[in-house]
Structure 1
Amino acid sequence: MDRLLTAEAALADWYGEFELPEGAVAEWRIGPARFQVVHRFGEWRVSQQRDEGLPLHAEVAFDDVEPMPEDKVERFVYADQSGVFHVQPLLPDRSVVSRPAAPLFVPAGEAVRLYVTVPLWLQLSVGKQRKRLLEVPSYRPSDTWFGPTTMTGELCYALRSRCRLYLEDAEFVPYRAHIPVQIRNQASKQLSLERVCVPVRQLSLYVTRDGRFWTDEVGLEQRDEGGSLAALRLGGKAPKEAVDAQRIATSRDAPGRRTAIHAFSALFNL
């Protein structure tokens, strides 16, 4: 989405590149997140604030912007006065944990496809070289620990959204991304799914023409060998549901084999 938007054109698009000349003020309202950007000589000022509730809008305004309090301002010095400001959607910076809407069991030899939705992070950068200023979560979930013990596992985000069996049950939210998770139970015993932990740092981000965000498909297979979830697959492209999707962000981490197997071996609480 490397297009340069004027103030008028940007009213229909809340991410991408924007032209903010010296003296310009803009405000993004992405769900519960609000952040203002002020371009002054030699610096950019960014202010953040959270709204109550979880509004479903995603928009940017250039007029009638009421300044936020000075104590919320972060200042970034930057000599280039080109006025290019970039908002890049990203996936969260930690693995995310979601629960099925109700206890879910996958008998031996069966498969299930789940849909997990995650809030987007927004990377703010300036100039043609895209010098990074900071990242702003559209919604920051609460922290949770995922692992068999307090010594083994990782710090994750706990999602409010549920793992859905049907895409139509997942409400469209403009600042969330859909993650398809394909699970095959090739073991001889029934698989019980209580919590799903998805390592989103290894997934790319896509967007379709209708404004929906997607990630690579995550596929994994339960086997009998030691009860581990050893077989895994990252799609490497937009899933089948995302017709005419465009990739707009690569994964934060390269999906190295050792890292991937370690992450997916603890994908479920068994």
Structure 2
Amino acid sequence: MWLDPQSQWWQAQTLNHQQVVRLQIGPLVVYLQRKTGEWWLHTEQLTEPEQNMAHASYLPEWPLHKVFSRYVFTHEPLQFCLTPLLQDRPVVVKTRQPVYLPVGEEVTFYISSPVVIRLELKQPDILLQELPTQRLSDTWFGPNTQAGELCYADKTQARHSKEELPARAHRAITPIRVKNNSSQMMSIEKLSLPLPFLSLYGLPDGSLWTDLVQIDHQNDAELSRLNIHKQMPPGHANAIRLSRPRQAFEKHGLFRVFSDLFQHTERS
């Protein structure tokens, strides 16, 4: 059982007969018990703002007052697995401070998003539930109510140094390389992470990463040219792919990546 916060918590684990385990991935908590011919399940979300660890512990018995769901079998499976997935919609992130990119500059931002957990039993494989590690609000992304799409909303620090990234087991990091090929300064306040088009990777230290996204913005264009590099950034060759994209991506396609809050600022 993984007890180290930096372990690969997505690997399948065996639960002995009558054994109870408490699993925590960030703010998501899962209780499981394997019994004769059935499994018990209880889930909850913690409200504390800084719940970033991945942790597992065995309990002597099922906790009192924890209402459970029962899954019944002729012969109950022996193992369980928590598989992280990316969100099924794009996530629109708003920067906590305005970010400016001068003419001709290129920068890589590291932006994280909370994952969804696919809870499965193994031997044989049976899906129990898909559980969000963190609940995000809905938002509309587009120039008006007729053009656009329904997304999730989140906030970001838009860090551009990997060394500044905090360790958060329940969030996947997306490297976004932005090139300002316009003739004016860019102000970035909101952008849309195209998560349904990305693969998800796990590193030996327990961190989660996605494909690298490259954005090329031109003059007076509502749409930016977007390219997805189907490989991990340099230095992460030992990662394993945990999930494939939910949707197919048209290579070098044009997408609305920035909202109407993406503006050109006049040069002085």
- 1:103 is paired with a residue of what secondary structure? strand
Q: Deviation at 1:125?
A: 0.8
CA distance in 2, matches of 1:206, 1:176: 12
Q: Deviation at 1:99?
A: 2.3
Q: Which moved more, 1:170-179 or 1:144-153?
A: 144-153
Judged with a 3 Å threshold, the aligned counterparts in structure 2 of structure 1 residues 129 and 222 are, in CA distance, closer, same or farther, namely: farther
**Corresponding residue to 2:57 among 47, 54, 61:** 61
**1:248-259 paired onto structure 2 within 5 Å:** 248-256=242-250
Aligned twin of 1:229: 223
Matched, 1:10 2:2: yes
- 2:2 is paired with a residue of what secondary structure? helix
TM-score (norm 1): 0.84
Q: Deviations over 1:161-183 (max 9, x none)?
A: 32112222322212221110001
Judged with a 3 Å threshold, the aligned counterparts in structure 2 of structure 1 residues 188 and 133 are, in CA distance, closer, same or farther, namely: same
CA distance in 1, matches of 2:64, 2:107: 47
Aligned twin of 1:118: 113
CA distance in 2, matches of 1:47, 1:28: 10
Judged with a 3 Å threshold, the aligned counterparts in structure 2 of structure 1 residues 155 and 77 are, in CA distance, closer, same or farther, namely: farther
Aligned twin of 2:266: none
CA distance in 1, matches of 2:61, 2:36: 20
Aligned twin of 1:4: none
Aligned twin of 1:39: 34
Q: Deviations over 1:232-254 (max 9, x none)?
A: 11110111253522222222223
Matched, 1:195 2:190: yes
Judged with a 3 Å threshold, the aligned counterparts in structure 2 of structure 1 residues 222 and 50 are, in CA distance, closer, same or farther, namely: same
Q: Which has the higher helix share?
A: 1
Q: Deviation at 1:65?
A: 5.6
Letter of the 2:56 partner, please give it.
Answer: V
Q: Deviation at 1:230?
A: 4.0
- 1:56 is paired with a residue of what secondary structure? coil
Aligned twin of 1:127: 122
Aligned residues: 257
Q: Deviation at 1:36?
A: 0.8
Letter of the 1:108 partner, please give it.
Answer: V
Letter of the 2:228 partner, please give it.
Answer: L
Q: Is the 8 A contact 2:20 2:60 kept in 1?
A: no
CA distance in 2, matches of 1:227, 1:248: 35
Q: Deviations over 1:189-238 (max 9, x none)?
A: 333211011021111111222222111000011123x6143421111011
**1:63-142 paired onto structure 2 within 5 Å:** 63-64=59-60, 66-67=62-63, 69=65, 72-142=67-137
Q: Which moved more, 1:142-151 or 1:173-182?
A: 142-151
TM-score (norm 2): 0.85
Q: Which moved more, 1:106-115 or 1:248-257?
A: 248-257
**Corresponding residue to 2:241 among 209, 225, 247:** 247
Letter of the 2:244 partner, please give it.
Answer: T
Q: Which has the higher strand share?
A: 2
Letter of the 1:265 partner, please give it.
Answer: R
Unaligned ranges ≥5, structure 2: 263-268
Judged with a 3 Å threshold, the aligned counterparts in structure 2 of structure 1 residues 51 and 267 are, in CA distance, closer, same or farther, namely: same
Aligned twin of 2:172: 177
- 2:59 is paired with a residue of what secondary structure? coil
- 1:163 is paired with a residue of what secondary structure? coil
Q: Deviation at 1:135?
A: 1.1
CA distance in 2, matches of 1:36, 1:88: 16
| Identical aligned residues as a percent | 30
